[in-house]
Amino acid sequence: MARVILGVGAGIAAYKACELLRLLTEAGHRVRVIPTQDALRFVGEPTWAALSGEPVATDVWSDVAQVPHVRLGQSADLVLVAPATADVLARAAAGMASDLLTSTLLTARCPVLYAPAMHTEMWEHPATRHNVSVLRGRGAIVVDPAVGRLTGPDTGRGRLPEPAELFALAEELISSRTERGTSPYASPTQGGAGLRPIPLAGRRVLISAGGTREELDPVRFLGNWSTGRQGYAFATAAVARGAEVTVVAANVELPDPAAVTVVKVVSAREMHAAMLARADTADAIVMTAAVADFRPVTRADSKIKKHGRPPEPIVLTENPDILVGLTARRAARTASAGSLAHQVIVGFAAETDPGLDAAREKLARKGCDLLVVNPVGNGQGFGTGDNEALVLASDGSQTSIPRQSKETLADVVLELVEARLDLVSEHIDCSFRLESARPG
């Protein structure tokens, strides 16, 4: 059971925080709601107290003997502010302590997650963008708001992400803190011993997810059983680490993860084009999608009929190998720039009978940094909530991940990615310093 502070700003989206509170409490977490004074105009104190089973206060003068403006932040495992209005973001960025919520934010030594919600013009204003940048620089996770219907007839970016999406992200942050024993997300500027910067702050992560489909006719296709759950688990984990995340999703029916840009595709060729179009700006690429190796040479314009005789044979041709294309593009870019590769590429190999020698050969042939080999079939892999894998690295090392949740598997693999990104950064910094030290 985690101790969660749910901060609520004065926005119409405050009603959604009631559902978020329900999800957190039903998951077994102890939740203390701290609304701003004006937030109570949208949802009253009795509602928060009844749903949480905890006292509700907005100022530092309630229960003074317990010093709540200090103790609440110190003892929390997660502080989640939803909705985070422009006013709350501004006061938090300025380090103000004008009420119980902002005082708690100043004393928190745990992951802090802001879910902004406001009108598009307010979100896009330079002052708000500056405040968001400041908070992210201090180690907070500030997710981008969703696009959709706002107050009144307005539509645009500024909508609070759905409670289920925020809950999934909160669970990721809580589990990471619980497993590691301390927060890997807080910046040293927040104070406290042993805290370090967000692992993927400022990084861009590109992920493929789902299973591609190759059309035979207007009603049939060649496909696979992939649901995209593993890819979406990577997306949530990467956001929790501070990354800017884009997912190229093939035929995924899951809700889009909070704060993730999702690009929808259908076929392998569409995914190939979408991934390569976004690859150059990515610091890390994770290819979890199950991509069809083959497609029909021709697609029938109308439904293929029986006609009382055997159908014509379906002739297949190979699809482009997306992973090979990504590693080749990285190699070409690195060679032309004359610099070290800055990008870490992770491939997935779903196998019914994985052999170590074959997997190592595939790793070398694909040219990626890590190859996650996971068994599928017989109740494993596709469509399940858990997974297991053997991660082979280009440096010869390997990491075994026993069967556990797909979210935990994503955490383990991203830690391997982070270590390689840190190593690349160290090499680049060292090369720069050596070059700068040369005379003339």
Residue-wise pLDDT tens digits, 107-119:
999 999 999 999 9
**Containing structural domain, residue 390:** 204-431
- Residues 167 and 287 reside in one and the same domain: no
Q: Distance from first CA to last CA of the chain, Å, rounded?
A: 61
We report the CATH number of the domain holding residue 111 as 3.40.50.1950
- Looking at residue 311, its pLDDT comes to 74
Do residues 259 and 400 both lie within one domain?
A: yes
332-336: Cβ within 8 A, 24+ apart: 333/280
User: Dmax of the chain from CA atoms?
Assistant: 86
pLDDT of residue 426: 52
Our count of domains for the chain comes to 2
Q: State the pLDDT at residue 438.
A: 53
Which of the pair, 58 or 246, is modelled with greater confidence? 246
425: confidence class by pLDDT, cuts 50, 70, 90: low
Averaged pLDDT score across all residues of the chain: 87
Q: Are residues 306 and 347 in the same domain?
A: yes
Q: Is residue 406 part of a domain?
A: yes
Backbone angles phi, psi at 222, to 5 degrees: -90, 130
pTM of the shown model: 0.81
- Asked if 125 and 15 sit in the same domain, the reply is yes
Classify residue 197: in a domain, yes or no.
no
Of residues 271 and 240, more confidence is placed in 271
pLDDT at 432: 40
In a shared domain, residues 172 and 63 = yes
Return d(Cα 204, Cα 161) in angstroms, integer: 20
Residue at 138 is within a domain: yes
For the stretch 244-267, pLDDT in tens is: 999 999 999 998 998 899 999 999
Indicate whether 329 belongs to any domain.
yes
355 vs 222, more confident: 222
Q: Look at phi and psi of residue 83 and say left if phi exceeds 0, alpha if psi is from -120 to 50, else beta.
A: beta
The answer to whether position 22 is within a domain reads yes
Least confident of 75-79, 148-152, 206-210, 377-381: 377-381
185/3 Cα distance (integer angstroms): 17
Q: pLDDT tens digits, residue range 5-56?
A: 999 999 999 999 999 999 999 999 999 999 999 999 999 999 999 999 999 9
Which one, of 279, 218, 283, lies nearest residue 248 by Cα? 279
Task: Say yes or no: 111 and 245 in one domain.
Answer: no
Domain-terminating residue out of 157, 190, 223: 190
b/e 245-281 (16+ beta carbons within 10 angstroms → b): bbbbbbbbeeebbbbbebbebbbbbbbbebbeebbee
More confident residue, 428 or 357: 357
* 224: annotated active-site residue: yes
22 shares its domain with 168: yes
Judge whether 403 and 386 are in contact, CB under 8 Å: yes
Choose the final residue of a domain: 158, 190, 222. 190
Quote the pLDDT of residue 187: 40
Taking residues 414-425, report their average pLDDT.
85
pLDDT score, position 74: 86
Q: Which of 190, 219, 245 is the last residue of a domain?
A: 190
Among 131, 224, 251, 387, which one carries the catalytic annotation?
224
Q: What is the arithmetic mean of pLDDT over 288-310?
A: 89
